[in-house]
Amino acid sequence: MSKGTSTMESQGKDSPVRTGYHRLEVQKTTWDVPDKYTSLRSIGSGAYGTVSALDQKTKEKVAIKKLYRPFQSLIHAQRAYRELRLLRHIQHENVICLLNVFTPDSTPEKFQTLLTDRIITYLFYQLLRGLKDLKPGNLAVNENCELKILDFGLARQAESEMTGYVVTRWYRAPEVIFNWMHYSQTVDVWSAACILAEMITGQVLFPDTTLKKILRLTGTPDSSLVQKMQSKDAQSYVQGLPPQKKKIFKEVFPSMEGNAVDILEGMLILDPETRLTAKQGLGHPFLAEYHEPESEPDSDPYDDSFESLELAVGEWKSLIHMEIMTFDPENPVRRPCRSFDVLAPSSVDFNTDTN
């Protein structure tokens, strides 16, 4: 599925149903959705509810995401607005496409299937084409192995200062976990490498997110990286660690194909400045079968000036309402979205219930 709908809901279970909508209950959760969306089915669980649905007009499957209580705090309100703005802005084949915004519902479906080496390579290629805040739960894949990246509530511009809780812990780069330097786009390269290793081995690479676990593989930071750390506490802590040599990756991953080992080694580098970039990764021999520089577009500049606004919850609500009202699903300027049958969600549902 390459298309999605976005909705903001304020109706309670016993409130009247809005004209043109119908009400369904899916796994004890009430969904008010436009009449054209039928056959709702839960496709996952988590902080945000998500269902798949059939769009009766297009006969395509979509996913509908319900944001619960987005206005319970300033942080939640700004996060909801950020996600909607980013979904409207991004135009990329491998990033989820926003189809519609309305006032109700979506969540990722978990599925397990045996991945061949070729499928893993193809999925990883698509992943690098559209990097952002990454974890497996933020990725949707259909039966044709087409991949899209989901969920922009915590996204930021590169090199902005962020908390250490932005990326799900098993996939966080060390500079994110320990806040020892400004972040760049290579935080997602680290996350992508963790996902690649997990796809190949079937095991989470760093289930223990302590620095010691990571350093067993990468070795302790050298003096040049320690000097780049902006936190004196981080410098002191790292300098007090017993020295460890970097492991030989081929010995750590003995059954892994050589090019896969090599790209992992280039991406799992402690220093983000020397870590492979997404562009360099796309040109790596591991992805040679799929690499086509002319078809790997860069995104247009994104206006994130709203990040500096100091607004009340009600003002964020007004901004989100304006985004909803100005969204035109028939806009011919939008990129074409190929049919993308749902195995995980591709839409956003905003719930305005503040209770």
Task: Please give the CATH superfamily to which domain 4-108+302-351 belongs.
Answer: Phosphorylase Kinase; domain 1 (3.30.200.20)
Homologous superfamily of domain range 117-147+162-295:
Transferase(Phosphotransferase) domain 1 (1.10.510.10)
Strand bridging mode 49-55 / 37-42: antiparallel
Is the model's pLDDT at 158 over the cut of 80?
no
Span 81-104, pLDDT tens digits? 888 878 877 777 777 778 887 764
Q: How many CB atoms lie within 10 A of CB 232?
A: 8
Q: In this predicted structure, which of 30-44, 185-199, 285-299 has the lowest mean pLDDT?
A: 285-299
Tell me the whole-structure pTM to 2 decimals: 0.52
Contact between 182 and 230 under an 8 Å Cβ cutoff? The reply is: yes
> Of 168, 171, 133, whose CA–CA distance to 153 is shortest?
133
36 is in an annotated binding site: no
Q: What is the pLDDT of residue 108?
A: 29
pLDDT at residue 44, as a whole number:
63
Residues with catalytic roles: 133
Domain segments of the chain as ranges: 4-108+302-351, 117-147+162-295
